[in-house]
Amino acid sequence: MCALRLRYHPSFHAKAMNDVQAPIPVVVRGASGRMGQAIIRLLGARSDLALAAALVRAGSPATGQPAAPGSNVIATAALDEAVEARVLLDFSIAPAFDEGLTLAVERRLAFVSGTTGLSAAQQAALDEAARSIPVLWSANFSIGVAVLARLGAQAATLLSEWDCEIIEVHHRNKKDAPSGTALALGRAVAAARGIDFGAVAQPARDGIADAPRDPAAIGFAAIRGGDIVGEHTVLFAGAGERLELHHAATDRDIFAHGALAAAVRITRLSPGRYAFAELLGQGMA
């Protein structure tokens, strides 16, 4: 067995793209959630970004409260017309996603989102919004995962006859399975092999199969337990050998650091749809 394991240190993002002189005003949507709170906390330590507004769902207990301990920004359900901002960070939930994207288009704000579980129609809405504003959606804001996707695509091309399986491990409270990151990795493999992801994805297996494994299939396995931040493995299995590409996240702050780094860079770009790794200047789409 040959295994390549990627471990990413969160200090990378803290150093990234910190050359803007005036702070960029940021709207955080989904501000009371775990990711929203991490973004607001880390944003407060940066000189290139400033929290302009913290948006929460209507009726949220967080409404009218400070966006975070010590913050002078009050959480609200709607963005005040008087608030000046340049970028909207959306980490809400899929049913609330459309409202946030519409707000960004109406206010001409750059849009960065990590909301998972989006439908095909919502992905199409992102493409349409990219006609008027710079847009970035990513299932994962870790640079290590971006590299993992690149390596997975390369391996898929070189090992075109090998079976591919993707294993993901997360904490007990994660609701969606497979994870958005696992699905993104699967799409990268399918694209590299020139096949339709929807036709070959096997998100789950149960019972007794009627036939052997389809050689073109991309299988998924989801594990939930404890407080595991997130691990993803892209496994290629051939005759007598296998290759595993593995990424483990041990600190949730890496995702918030990545989102903030993307927020800085995307405000410099013209309308269009961008990939996370592309914004970080890694030469990857």
State the catalytic residue, choosing from 170, 232, 247, 257. 170
Per-residue model confidence (pLDDT) at position 1:
54
CATH number of 143-249: 3.30.360.10
Of the pLDDT bands very low, low, confident and very high (cuts 50, 70, 90), residue 209 is confident
Give SS3 for 236: strand
Q: What is the pLDDT averaged over residues 119-135?
A: 97
Mean pLDDT of the chain: 90
Residue 18 scores a pLDDT above 50 = no
Mention the CATH class of domain 8-141+252-279: alpha beta
**pLDDT score of 280 more than 80:** no
Say which residue, 63 or 21, is predicted with more confidence: 63
Q: What is the 3-state secondary structure (H, E, C) of 153-165?
A: HHHHHHCCCCEEE
- Candidates 13, 171, 174, 246; catalytic one: 174
End-to-end CA distance of the chain: 29
Q: Is the dihedral of CA 266, 271, 277, 278 positive or negative?
A: negative
Distance CA 121, CA 98 (A): 10
pLDDT (0 to 100) of residue 285: 37
**Amino acid identity at 2:** C
246 assigned to active site: no
Q: 71-114, pLDDT tens digit by residue?
A: 899 999 999 999 999 999 999 999 999 999 999 999 999 999 99
Domain extent listing, the chain: 8-141+252-279, 143-249
- Tens-place pLDDT, residues 43-54: 989 999 999 999
Burial letters 134-172, b for 16+ CB under 10 A, else e = bbbbbbbbbbbbbbbbbbbbebbeebeebbbbbbbbbee
Percent of the chain scored above 70 by pLDDT? Answer: 91
Average pLDDT over residues 183-191: 96
Asked whether the predicted pLDDT for residue 143 surpasses 60, the reply is yes
Query: Is residue 121 within 8 Å of residue 145, measured between CB atoms?
Result: no
Burial label for 81, CB within 10 Å (0-12, 13-18, 19+), is exposed
Is the pLDDT confidence value at 282 over 60?
no
**Rounded distance between C-alpha atoms, residue 253 and residue 180, angstroms:** 18
Sequence-ordered strand ranges (E) for the chain = 2-7, 24-29, 49-55, 75-76, 87-90, 110-113, 134-137, 163-170, 201-202, 218-224, 230-238, 241-249, 272-274
| Whether 13 is catalytic | no
Angle between helices 253-266 and 143-158 (to 10 degrees): 90
